[in-house]
Amino acid sequence: MELNVTYITLDGYVDLEKYRALYFVIVCSAFVVIICSNSTIVCLIWIHKNLHEPMYFFIAALLLNSILFSSAFYPKILVDILSEKQVVTYSTCLFQWYIIYAIGGAEFWLLMFMALDRYLAICKPLQYPTIMTKSRVNVLLTVAWTVPALQVAILITAASQKKLCNFITRGIICNSTTYKLHCFPSAALKKFGLYVMVNLIFIPAICNCFTYIRIFIITKRRGLEVRKKAMRTCLPHLIVLFNYFCLGSFDVLLARFEGQFPKLGRFIMSLQLILYHPLFNPFIYGLKMKRISTHLQRIFCAVKHDERL
C-alpha cells in the first residue's frame, strides 16, 4: 500500500550550485566542532567530582541541548547541500519546528534557573547548600526540559491538523514560518503560539534580568572584591543569555517579516540560528569558567606531552 507523503521545498539557499563545496565544508566542520567541544565539557563535568555542583550541572544540560539540537538539524542540512533538490517531508518539517522551539524554550528556562542558582550562591551563601540540593537541581532540570517540550508539542499537534496550500518555505530549516504554508490562518493557533512564546522566552528573559540586577545591587553594597567575584561568575551566563536573546529575536523577525528580507539576509540569519549558539557556548564556558578551563588545560598539556614522546 503506497502512502501519500507531502514534501516541502526548502528555498532558502543562496547560489547553492556555485558554493556547494564551500557550504558543505563550513557546515560539516561546524558540526564536528560542535559535537566534539560540547561533548568534551559535558564529559569533564560528568567525570570530575569537583564539578559536581548545581552550576556545572546546568551548564552540562545547556551544552547537551546544543548536541541534541545540532544532531537534529546538521545531518539533514548536509544531505540537502549535496542533493539536487532541497526538500523535506512535512512530518520532518513539523519535527524540526518542534525541536527548535522545545530546545530553545528549554535553554531559556535553564538560563533562568542558572540565574537563580547564582543569586542564591552569591547573595545567600549560608542557605545555598540547603536550598540547592541535588534533588532540587534534578527537579529544576526536569521542569526546564518538560514544560517547553509539552507546550510546543500541543502547538505542533494543533498545527499538523491544518491543511496545506503552499509547499515552499523560504528557509533552510522549518521553524514557525511553517504557519505560512497553511491554507487558512488560524487565530486560535496564533494566539496559542504567542502564549507559548511569552511563556518560554519573555518570562524567563524578564526573570533573568531581574535576578542579575538584584545580584549586582546586593554585591555593590558588599564591596569591590565581592562585586568582581560576582561578575566573573555571572559574565559567561550573561553573554550566553544576550546571544540567545538576539538569536530568538532573529527568529521572531524571520517569522513575522520574512517577505521583507532579501534572500541573502534570510540565509545569513538562518545560519546564525543553527551555527552561532551551539558553536560558541562551549568556548564561552570553557574559557571563562576557571574550573572547566583548568581541566581543559590539563588535557591539552597531556596531549602535547604525548606528541613529544
DSSP per residue over 48-64, as a string? -GGG-SHHHHHHHHHHH
User: What are the phi and psi torsion angles at 9 (to 5°)?
Assistant: -85, 130
Among residues of the chain, what percentage have pLDDT more than 70?
Answer: 93
Question: Over the stretch 121-151, which tens digit does the pLDDT of each residue have?
Answer: 888 888 999 999 999 999 999 999 999 999 9
Find, among 171, 131, 135, the residue nearest to 273 by Cα.
Answer: 171
Q: Chunked in runs of 10, what are the mean pLDDT values of the chain (309 residues)?
A: 72 88 93 93 90 91 92 93 91 92 91 92 89 93 94 91 87 83 82 86 88 87 77 81 77 66 78 82 78 78 61
Q: Are 219 and 122 in contact (CB under 8 A)?
A: yes
pTM of the predicted model as reported, rounded to 2 decimal places:
0.88
Torsion 88-94-98-104 (CA) sign = positive
Distance of CA 90 to the CA centre of its chain: 23
Give dist(CA 160, CA 176) in Å, integer. 12
- What are the two backbone dihedrals, phi and then psi, of residue 12, each rounded to the nearest 5 degrees? -105, -10
pLDDT at 136: 94
Residue with cell 532579501: 262
Cell of 300: 591539552
Listed by start position, the domains of the chain span 7-308
Cα separation, 62 vs 58, in Å, equals 6
Checking 280-283 for CB contacts under 8 A at 24+ apart, the result is 280/243, 281/38, 281/62, 281/63, 281/66, 281/240, 282/34, 282/37, 282/38, 282/40, 282/41, 282/63, 282/66, 283/37
**Residue count of the chain:** 309
- The whole-number pLDDT of residue 2 equals 43
User: Which pLDDT does position 1 carry in this prediction?
Assistant: 37
What is the reported pLDDT for 259? 59
Please give the DSSP secondary-structure letter assigned to residue 127.
Answer: T
SS3 164: strand
**Homologous superfamily of 7-308:** Rhodopsin 7-helix transmembrane proteins (1.20.1070.10)
What is each CA distance from 188 to 153, 177, 193, in whole angstroms? 16, 16, 8
Q: What does the block give as the cell for 39?
A: 561533548
Q: What is the pLDDT of residue 120?
A: 92
CA distance 78 to 24: 6
Tell me the CA end-to-end span of the chain in Å, nearest whole number: 63
pLDDT tens digits, 276-308: 878 888 888 876 777 888 877 787 776 665 556
How open is the CA angle 139-211-191, to the nearest 5 degrees? 70
Residues forming beta bridges with residue 89, ordered by sequence position: 7
The torsion angles phi and psi of 91, rounded to 5 degrees, stand at: -65, -40
